[in-house]
């Protein structure tokens, strides 16, 4: 397995405050298998990503692209915004993109 490719299973498990054993129980596997996946000794497949995503309340792709512990990513802030405020937050974010696009037109 390519150890240079990020795989954030361990990060998501810790983020959700679960032990390897608790996660293993949720996906009906063993603690040892979870450990081997986290250390990238065993390969993952789509079925595993889907099972772990259900257990960890995230999307399968999150294990490959999102470190839940990284505080400098927009999505980690987005997750903390109450549902009722997300429309406003999205409008504010889009206003920055619009301003950037308008500035490019002026140049």
Same domain? For 41 and 85 the reply is no
pLDDT digits (tens, 9 = 90+) for 30-50: 999 999 999 999 999 999 999
What is each CA distance from 32 to 15, 16, 80, 94, in whole angstroms? 19, 19, 32, 45
Same domain? For 77 and 26 the reply is no
- Global pTM reads 0.71
Conformation bin of residue 40: beta by default, left when phi > 0, alpha when psi is -120 to 50:
left
Same domain? For 15 and 58 the reply is yes
Contact 52, 23 (CB under 8 A): yes
The model's confidence at residue 70, banded by pLDDT at 50, 70 and 90, is confident
Mean of the pLDDT values across residues 74-80? 80
Same domain? For 55 and 3 the reply is yes
> Is the pLDDT reported for residue 52 higher than 90?
yes
User: Which residue segment(s) compose the domain that 88 sits in?
Assistant: 71-107
Instruction: Produce one character per residue of 6-15: b if its CB has 16 or more CB atoms within 10 Å, e if not.
Output: ebbbbbbbeb
């Amino acid at each position: 397995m390519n150890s240079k490719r990020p795989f954030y299973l361990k990060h998501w498990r810790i983020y959700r405050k679960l032990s390897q054993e608790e996660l293993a129980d949720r996906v009906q596997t063993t603690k040892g298998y979870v450990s081997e996946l986290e250390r990238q000794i065993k390969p993952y497949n789509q079925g595993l990503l889907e099972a772990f995503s259900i257990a960890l309340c995230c999307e399968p792709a999150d294990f490959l692209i999102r470190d839940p512990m990284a505080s400098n990513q927009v999505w980690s802030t987005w997750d903390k915004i109450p549902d009722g405020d997300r429309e406003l937050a999205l409008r504010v974010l889009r206003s920055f993109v619009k301003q950037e696009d308008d500035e490019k037109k002026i140049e």
